[in-house]
Amino acid sequence: MNILVIESSPHKHGSSNLLAEEFIRGAKESGHDVSVFDAGHASLHPCLGCEACGMSGPCVQKDDMAKLREMLLAADMAVFVTPLYYFGFSTQLKMVIDRFYSFNGQLTARGLKTALIAAAWDSNSWTMTDLKAHYETLCRYLNFENMGEILGTGCGTVSMTKRTKFPKEAYEFGKRIGG
């Protein structure tokens, strides 16, 4: 399977990307092809709501979203990776999702397999509730097949994250992803 991991942390070596690395390691060991798009450091701009794309592109903005669009439409699976910022996606990932508008119909028609990997400082039982709901709504709307979620709580720093069960869970998740 061709898996695209979309990282979105402004911290290249932060907790969410650590979990992504473990997922990638497991997926590669299982024979999958994995590529990474670093939305946290890409040249991306927010959707202008200009309607020029007509929901089927191309977008009038000339930035790295054209590359991501091509990668997404060639992938069998997309993994959304985010730190939890104020109980939602990072701005960088939310911007990517908003830009799906320019190829909404193509994404919906794909029935793309997806997963969510998130890292949060808090360990409260409700910490990931809103992020999980937003992701699952996105899956329903865009006809994505949700393959699973790693919702890493208590992952405020890399050293904290390494002491949790979540790196192992991310690795095992990557190992068992089916084709």
> Mapping DSSP to helix (H, G, I), strand (E, B) and coil, where does residue 149 land?
strand
Q: Given the DSSP bridges, would you call strands 77-83 and 33-38 parallel, antiparallel or unpaired?
A: unpaired
Nearest in space to 161 (alpha carbons), one of 53, 11, 8, 4: 11
> Mapping DSSP to helix (H, G, I), strand (E, B) and coil, where does residue 119 land?
strand
> Mapping DSSP to helix (H, G, I), strand (E, B) and coil, where does residue 40 land?
coil
- pLDDT tens, N- to C-terminus, the chain (179 residues): 999 999 999 999 999 999 999 999 999 999 999 999 999 999 999 999 999 999 988 899 999 999 999 999 999 999 999 999 999 999 999 999 999 999 999 999 999 999 999 999 999 999 999 999 999 999 999 999 999 999 999 999 999 999 999 999 999 999 999 75
